[in-house]
Amino acid sequence: MELVFLCAALSLSWWGTGMLQRHVAERLGMIDRPNERSSHTIPTPRGGGLAIVAVSLSLCLLLWQQGLLPPAFAMAVVGGGVAVALIGFWDDRRHVPAARRLLVHGGAALWAIYWLDGLPAIDVGRETIVLPAWGAVLAVFFLVWLVNLYNFMDGIDGLAGVEAVTVFLGAAVILHAVGTGADLSLLFAFAGAVVGFLRWNWPPAKIFMGDAGSGFLGFVLGICALYWPMHSRMSLWSWVILLGVFLVDATVTLLVRAFRGERLHMAHRSHAYQRLARKFQSHQKVTVGVLVINTCWLFPLALGAAFRPAHGVWLTALALTPLVTLCLWAGAGKRAEERTI
């Protein structure tokens, strides 16, 4: 069943992204024209992530209707995901003030937390911490941060797609390994929808994801990271490890820029992945590098954290410390003209 949904999502997304690239993006004025902060050099259609959104939500509703998806999870994904995608689509067409976007993201996060009906416990050593009501506030911030960091990290060809595919499939493999017993078709459907889009976004990209797709993926990944630890043996630490590349690069870059006194709402291209793409003069090398890191380094450690949740803190530190070091070495947060350390 899972492979059926993966193949269906892949095919539909591949076709839908092609239609957007050839017939829709230019008519809607969704053309990304290079500027001094861009990582590309030629005008390129954007908004290809709309195919990911449409396919993912359609299959989500289908699985719900068939009784293969819990209603609460479906309500969280569909209700919040539509809001995040719509504000992203609006921003793709014409600029939306940051405060307005954050308001919508916050509302979507509140909606999702309401339907999730609880927060995952956190294993710290031999202790299990059950978060009180105020933990919902942390969960809202977590979701809003994932929505925005995914937008920040969608800056070179193929990167956001590769991250999503490896996290969705990695999580599906881990959930199967720990014996959750739940139907994992939706995770495969999400992965398939992104793979279909990647056919058009692989370097050199023929179309970009846009805020509608990147925000939606960040939101869905955040919901999965909160939902599955409550309904399986896959701990929150495993999700943090799987998402490590994006979490570390976006967070380190933000902290360095804040320390330097820069205006955090201003556009920039000082993320580690952007600096490395310029250093190697290749989007593909950086994207493939992230693929290797996710599959060969982060996935095994996330699997270990699922089977040994008491060691989750230490495995997470082991997984993320080299990534922090890499980001600092690459000069994350520094201006483009500054030298790396």
Q: What is the 3-state secondary structure (H, E, C) of 162-185?
A: HHHHHHHHHHHHHHHHCCCCCCCH
pLDDT at site 180: 79
Classified as helix, coil or strand, 207 is: coil
Q: Which of 227, 276, 272, 270 is nearest to 246 (CA)?
A: 272
Q: 102-135 in b/e burial notation, b at 16+ Cβ within 10 A?
A: eebbebbbbbbbebbeebbbbbeeeeeeeeeeeb
Range(s) of the domain holding residue 62:
2-233
Alpha helices in the chain, H assignment, sequence order = 2-19, 49-65, 71-93, 98-116, 135-153, 159-177, 185-201, 210-231, 236-242, 244-259, 272-280, 283-292, 299-307, 312-330
19 found inside a domain: yes
| CA of residue 260 relative to chain centroid, distance | 27
Strands 127-129 and 31-32, bridge-based pairing? unpaired
**pLDDT tens per residue, the chain (341 residues)?**
789 999 999 999 999 999 988 878 777 778 877 665 556 667 888 899 999 999 999 999 999 999 989 999 999 999 999 999 999 999 988 889 999 999 999 999 999 999 987 677 777 766 777 776 777 888 999 999 999 999 999 999 999 999 999 999 999 999 999 987 778 999 999 999 999 999 999 999 999 999 999 999 999 999 999 999 888 888 899 999 999 999 999 999 999 999 988 887 777 889 999 999 999 999 999 999 999 999 999 999 999 999 998 899 999 999 999 999 999 999 999 876 554 43
215 found inside a domain: yes
67 contacts: CB under 8 Å, gap ≥ 6 = none
Burial status of residue 181 (CB atoms within 10 A of its CB: 0-12, 13-18, 19 or more): exposed
324 found inside a domain: no
Q: Using CA atoms, how far apart are residues 251 and 270, in angstroms rounded to an integer?
A: 12
117 found inside a domain: yes
pTM of the model: 0.94
115 found inside a domain: yes
323 found inside a domain: no
Q: Biggest alpha carbon distance in the chain?
A: 58
Q: Which of 183, 177, 185 is nearest to 233 (CA)?
A: 177
35 found inside a domain: yes
206 contacts: CB under 8 Å, gap ≥ 6 = 21, 44, 45, 200
306 found inside a domain: no
Q: Work out how many domains the chain is built from and give that number.
A: 1
